[in-house]
Amino acid sequence: MHRKPISSAVPKRAGSPWIDAAASLQLRPAWPNSTLPRKALRRSASASAFPSGPAETNTRPPTRKTAFEALRAKPAPQQAIPSMSTSTAKPAGVYAHLLPPSWKGKIAEWLQEDCPSFDWGGFVVGEDTKRATLFCKSEGCLAGVPFFDEVFRQLDCTVTWHYNEGDWLGSPDGSAVKIAVATVTGASRKILLGERVALNTLARCSGIATASARFLAKARNAGYTGIVAGTRKTTPGFRDVEKYGMLVGGVDMHRYDLSSMVMLKDNHIWSTGSVTNAVHAARSACGFSLKIDVEVQSYAEAVEAITAGADVVMLDNMDGDTLISNATRLKAEFAGKHKFLLESSGGIDIDNVQQGGHVDNAIDIISTSSIHQSTKHVDFSLKIDPSS
């Protein structure tokens, strides 16, 4: 793989009550909208570096934009996007470095799943070295670069990228532009062996990053300054890819799995008899190092959860005046007494996020599965250059 490292980190922000609470609870705040997603590097290849590819039309590179720059090109009427970045700190690392040691093994499993015995098509094309161009055919946020790279690394191919992860490909108005995004070089049979696994992974990850960036931009346009997060409702075996897409799209992943945070939902409460019993039982086992998030259905349950020691209180399926009233009262009642975050969740999507009180800044976290369930993929294709 020949590309510069892409630097992405969460800068510090100050001057907001919710961010102080988030820091104390060790929860990662959402990306500031002035750096969503943050790009530390500019394009490393000139226009002349783009491969000619197969004889296809409209393969021009568009004006380079990050996801948020593209999405804020047409802000909501009379709604400015607030600037929230106050840090000049350099990014600490790249998202690819977060991936666990096991992730490369999963890619080997996916390749084995796709070709469990004989590769008939590979026999036809043989071992000649070829060059293939990765095209993006729909607009969206580029995400999933490490997974795409690893597929072809395991097949002894090289990938050269012409865009950085997090760049916005195409135009926010949905106009069709065919963009040469990367070049894959290697034995023709190996390029074709990895093609579908690489494309499926990239398309899914980019689709989630795109939905995440759009949702966050919609919330920011409404003046929301809190955390936007996904959920644990991910595809079994594909969680690394889907959570990674959320990060690139600029939102918080929420808890990664059952072991990374305690979440007590209605079934836990019913099984133990009360919110207090559930919280105390959880704390007795998880100790001080894990946070406890409690799903509540009423103001009384929220008070009970906070009093019992919950770190996060999820106001589940509340909206409108009820949500805002409950959130405001809880913040006032426990001010200076308990540290906690309020989370709004349940049925929230990009079409209704600006309604129902979800973007009221008494709410610290909006969590939604809409950014990674039933999301549209970004359309990519890989074409071998017959002249290579």
117: domain CATH number is 3.90.1170.20
pLDDT at 36: 39
261: domain CATH number is 3.20.20.70
Average pLDDT for 73-85: 36
Q: For the segment 310-338, what is each residue's pLDDT rounded down to a tens digit?
A: 999 999 988 788 999 999 999 999 998 99
Please indicate, yes or no, whether residues 65 and 201 belong to a single structural domain of this protein.
yes
Q: Provide the residue range defining the domain that includes 72.
A: 37-77+92-211+375-384
Within a 10 A sphere around the Cβ of 361, how many other Cβ atoms?
13
| pTM: predicted TM-score of the whole model, two decimal places | 0.78
pLDDT at 70: 62
pLDDT at 92: 67
Please indicate, yes or no, whether residues 207 and 257 belong to a single structural domain of this protein.
no
3-state secondary structure the chain: CECCCCCCCCCCCCCCHHHHHHHHCCCCCCCCHHHCCCCCCCCCCCHHHCCCCCCCCCCCCCCCEEHHHHHCCCCCCCCCCCCCCCCCCCCCCCHHHHCCCCHHHHHHHHHHHHCCCCCHHHHHHCCCEEEEEEEECCCEECCCHHHHHHHHHCCCCEEEECCCCCEEECCCCCCCCCEEEEEEEEEHHHHHHHHHHHHHHHHHHHHHHHHHHHHHHHHHHCCCCCEEECCCCCCCCCHHHHHHHHHHHCCECCCCCCCCCEEECHHHHHHHCCHHHHHHHHHHHHCCCCCEEEEECCHHHHHHHHHHCCCEEEEECCCHHHHHHHHHHHHHHCCCCCCCEEEEECCCCCCCCCCCCCCCCCCCEEECCCCCCCCCCCCEEEEECCCC
Higher per-residue pLDDT: 371 or 13: 371
pLDDT at 180: 96
User: Is the model's pLDDT at 22 over the cut of 80?
Assistant: no
Could you tell me what percent of the chain has a pLDDT over 70? Answer: 75
* Domain-embedded: residue 18: no
Higher per-residue pLDDT: 288 or 4: 288
Q: Which residues are part of the catalytic machinery?
A: 233
Among the ranges given (2-6, 61-65, 271-275, 371-375), the one the predictor scored with the smallest mean pLDDT: 2-6
Beta-sheet strand order (sheet of 179-187)? 158-161, 179-187, 129-136, 380-384
Mean pLDDT across the chain, nearest whole number?
81
Please indicate, yes or no, whether residues 263 and 148 belong to a single structural domain of this protein.
no
Please indicate, yes or no, whether residues 289 and 312 belong to a single structural domain of this protein.
yes
* Domain-embedded: residue 10: no
**Residue carrying structure tokens 């009221």:** 360
Q: CA-to-CA distance for 248 and 51, rounded, in angstroms?
A: 26
pLDDT at 319: 77
Please indicate, yes or no, whether residues 107 and 129 belong to a single structural domain of this protein.
yes
- Residue 177's nearest CA partner among 185, 168, 186 is 168
pLDDT at 301: 97
User: Is the model's pLDDT at 43 over the cut of 60?
Assistant: no
* Domain-embedded: residue 223: no
Within a 10 A sphere around the Cβ of 10, how many other Cβ atoms?
19
Please indicate, yes or no, whether residues 342 and 379 belong to a single structural domain of this protein.
no
pLDDT at 74: 45
Confidence of residue 199 (pLDDT cuts 50, 70, 90): very high
pLDDT at 20: 39
pLDDT at 115: 95
Please indicate, yes or no, whether residues 284 and 362 belong to a single structural domain of this protein.
yes
Q: CA-to-CA distance for 59 and 192, rounded, in angstroms?
A: 21
**Residue carrying structure tokens 């939902």:** 265
User: Is the model's pLDDT at 16 over the cut of 50?
Assistant: no
Please indicate, yes or no, whether residues 357 and 380 belong to a single structural domain of this protein.
no
Which residues lie closer than 8 Å to 20 by C-beta, 6 or more apart? Answer: none
Please indicate, yes or no, whether residues 140 and 257 belong to a single structural domain of this protein.
no
Which residues lie closer than 8 Å to 106 by C-beta, 6 or more apart? Answer: 237, 240
* Domain-embedded: residue 156: yes
* Domain-embedded: residue 227: no
Higher per-residue pLDDT: 13 or 190: 190
Please indicate, yes or no, whether residues 53 and 150 belong to a single structural domain of this protein.
yes
* Domain-embedded: residue 106: yes
- CA–CA distances in Å: residue 185 to residues 344, 376, 385: 47, 29, 10
Please indicate, yes or no, whether residues 180 and 44 belong to a single structural domain of this protein.
yes
Residue 313: strand pairing partners = 294, 342
pLDDT at 357: 78
Q: For the segment 218-239, what is each residue's pLDDT rounded down to a tens digit?
A: 999 999 999 999 999 999 999 9
* Domain-embedded: residue 114: yes
Average pLDDT for 28-56: 35
Average pLDDT for 26-55: 35
Which residues lie closer than 8 Å to 4 by C-beta, 6 or more apart? Answer: 41, 44, 164
Please indicate, yes or no, whether residues 269 and 191 belong to a single structural domain of this protein.
no
User: Is the model's pLDDT at 54 over the cut of 80?
Assistant: no
Which residues lie closer than 8 Å to 328 by C-beta, 6 or more apart? Answer: 360, 362
* Domain-embedded: residue 228: no
Higher per-residue pLDDT: 46 or 172: 172
- Residue 134's nearest CA partner among 39, 51, 58 is 51
Total structural domains within the chain: 2
User: Is the model's pLDDT at 1 over the cut of 50?
Assistant: no
